[in-house]
Structure 1
């Protein structure tokens, strides 16, 4: 079975797929990996040696499609698993032109894709060519099925895997990012992009009068400059630090007092599960699917919507709790070994023509 990714950059989808591949039972599924362009290979070391990696060396999807089609026709994998929605569209459009015995399973990744009328039309047209679709949550399954008219397809909601043992091992490693013992240290992790809502987060912090707060933002992206300027304009330089992309965010999480997720949109926020695996409390905006991830951790979801005022009010309550730990058993249902078995069963059923 071939898993299709644009690259091995340090993103959530790349981490999910490499985690999944590491935990597949090789006696049931022989996995390979197809990359559009392998130059950005942050996660290359996470791919097991026994997994064959094919690099199409094409920087853009449009350029890669002929090469991808040729590869699938030559190798005829039993199942092609595509993830990241623009790549899913390309794979769906190619599906009628490759061998019928090579099934296509699409893993939907982002609610944001549904907000563009043009891209929604493209997804509907291409996803209907798939043999099955995997969603990251029941909320995503409902949204995509209803808005794209995909109810006739074989589809399954399967949450993302978390390598709990690996998270905890890396959490014990040292980090150069300092924590102020005289303050409550909170962490946010993600691409510096509009979907992650860091602008709302900074506005929310600016509304708080507490000086006992130290905020650590881990991530890189196109909004780095504007977010730094916003932080300076709000007078937050003594409370907010930007640390860029961190290959081991778990060591930072383990030493912090909690995680704040300020996203406007998420497919499924793995970082929340990783924080819980470190025993850390989480405050999150009400992105779809978050209730499942935070089941048993009451009062951790902003209930008043996506706004700086709502997040500031929730932060006040969150900070009043002080330093707390949460039961690490909350993430047991997302253990990579368990999720990998679910993927195996579903993919093998698709290969056999059952799908559901």
Structure 2
């Protein structure tokens, strides 16, 4: 596939999870000698800490909202005619509309689903008319794409059975997300910006995620409150989002103001991962859980809930590579964190297993899975 050109469509170029996925995927394609790689985006400018390979051509679409993107996408496709257009996260519908508007057959469109539409519409954004419209549009538009990729098998099952996307199995694939191992390992060597990790006086539990309902941080806070009855430990939750006020209120109600820190978002959470004692992802829904892989790269043992959409289970298996506990199970989460903190034998096993497991999500491995799927289309 040396003559292939690929365009990746992303929301923006800030240092968020999707941009990091796009940069790692571009790295994998570049190493596979893809002749030309484009990155289409709506917002921001390429930041210094985003590691796209040399030669990538960045194309700002000239608009800043997804609903305005179809026409610029169509114009790009008519002019450049890449072999493939791949949309990443929340942009599948504008990508499909732009591809249809281009009315040309030289480009194949592959949409990548990174979240559960049903959960978003019925739980996290219940009553939101736009989310209901997305469900309806996905049902009628997703099948028009050349190919559909999801990060887990449960997510693909949701789209084809619950949402009602009618698409032949040969045009679908389950491909996990990927990470740039070298970049994360390098960034993890920097000094953590958090004082509890600069001069660690007590064990530190760490989580990194958006402060959103989906991540179910109240479960972690209640579990931490129970752990505090047993041990003198601290909790740091790195991230920002709409649930901040709710979580801060709960921290105060539980009497944890001195032992829980919500420092906000970080451009380099990996330096904190490298110095914490256990990483916990308590999500109710998780279509992948890239931070689990990132924590493994940093040598941090992980604990996660068996979330809706199956992301953590895809990564951790049945607790082979980190401890997987039932979704919403307060007691199991407390016990799992307790075991990882105080069993040196378990910690060593999980750290070694995690280091091995994270190699499966390298940019080279996942890019090859993508290329194999693209080739069959």
Q: Is residue 2:68 matched to residue 1:57?
A: no
The equivalent residue for 1:167 is 184
C-alpha RMSD of the superposition? 2.3
* Contact preservation (8 Å) 1:257, 1:324: no
The equivalent residue for 1:105 is 110
Once the two structures are superposed, the pairs formed by residues 46-125 of structure 1 within 5 Å of their partners are 46-85=51-90, 87-98=91-102, 99-113=104-118, 115-116=120-121, 117-125=132-140
* Contact preservation (8 Å) 1:95, 1:129: no
2:283 to 250, 258, 263: 263
User: CA 1:19–1:43 in structure 2 vs 1: closer, same or farther (change >3 Å)?
Assistant: farther
> How far does residue 121 in structure 1 lie from its aligned partner after superposition?
1.9
Query: Can you list the C-alpha shifts for 1:280-336, whole angstroms capped at 9, x where unaligned?
Result: 211101121322311363671112x22545533443444443682311112121121
2:21 to 9, 13, 16: 16
Q: Which contiguous aligned blocks of 4+ residues in structure 1 show a shift greater than 4 angstroms?
A: 41-44, 112-115, 307-310
User: CA 1:186–1:42 in structure 2 vs 1: closer, same or farther (change >3 Å)?
Assistant: farther
Once the two structures are superposed, the pairs formed by residues 1-356 of structure 1 within 5 Å of their partners are 1-24=6-29, 25=31, 27-38=33-44, 41-42=46-47, 45-85=50-90, 87-98=91-102, 99-113=104-118, 115-116=120-121, 117-147=132-162, 148-152=164-168, 154-177=171-194, 178-179=196-197, 181-208=200-227, 209-287=229-307, 288-295=310-317, 297=320, 300-303=323-326, 305-306=327-328, 308-321=330-343, 324-325=347-348, 326-327=351-352, 328-347=355-374, 349=375, 354-355=376-377
Query: TM-score if structure 1 supplies the norm length?
Result: 0.89
> How far does residue 149 in structure 1 lie from its aligned partner after superposition?
3.3
User: CA 1:299–1:270 in structure 2 vs 1: closer, same or farther (change >3 Å)?
Assistant: closer
Query: TM-score if structure 2 supplies the norm length?
Result: 0.84
The alignment of Structure 1 onto Structure 2 pairs a total of residues equal to 347
Query: Can you list the C-alpha shifts for 1:56-99, whole angstroms capped at 9, x where unaligned?
Result: 232211222222222222222211100113x1022223332221
Q: CA separation in 1, counterparts of 2:33 and 2:182?
A: 22
Q: CA separation in 1, counterparts of 2:297 and 2:137?
A: 37
> How far does residue 218 in structure 1 lie from its aligned partner after superposition?
0.9
Q: CA separation in 2, counterparts of 1:22 and 1:227?
A: 37
Q: CA separation in 1, counterparts of 2:35 and 2:221?
A: 45
> How far does residue 26 in structure 1 lie from its aligned partner after superposition?
5.9
User: CA 1:150–1:319 in structure 2 vs 1: closer, same or farther (change >3 Å)?
Assistant: farther
> How far does residue 229 in structure 1 lie from its aligned partner after superposition?
2.5
Q: CA separation in 2, counterparts of 1:310 and 1:67?
A: 50
Q: CA separation in 1, counterparts of 2:67 and 2:341?
A: 48
* Contact preservation (8 Å) 1:211, 1:239: no
* Contact preservation (8 Å) 1:200, 1:308: yes
> How far does residue 257 in structure 1 lie from its aligned partner after superposition?
0.8
* Contact preservation (8 Å) 1:219, 1:244: yes
Query: Can you list the C-alpha shifts for 1:75-128, whole angstroms capped at 9, x where unaligned?
Result: 22211100113x102222333222122111001100245552543221121211
Q: CA separation in 2, counterparts of 1:103 and 1:212?
A: 56
> How far does residue 151 in structure 1 lie from its aligned partner after superposition?
4.1
- Between 268-277 and 215-224, report the one with greater CA deviation: 215-224
> How far does residue 53 in structure 1 lie from its aligned partner after superposition?
0.6
3-state SS in 2 of match to 1:301: strand
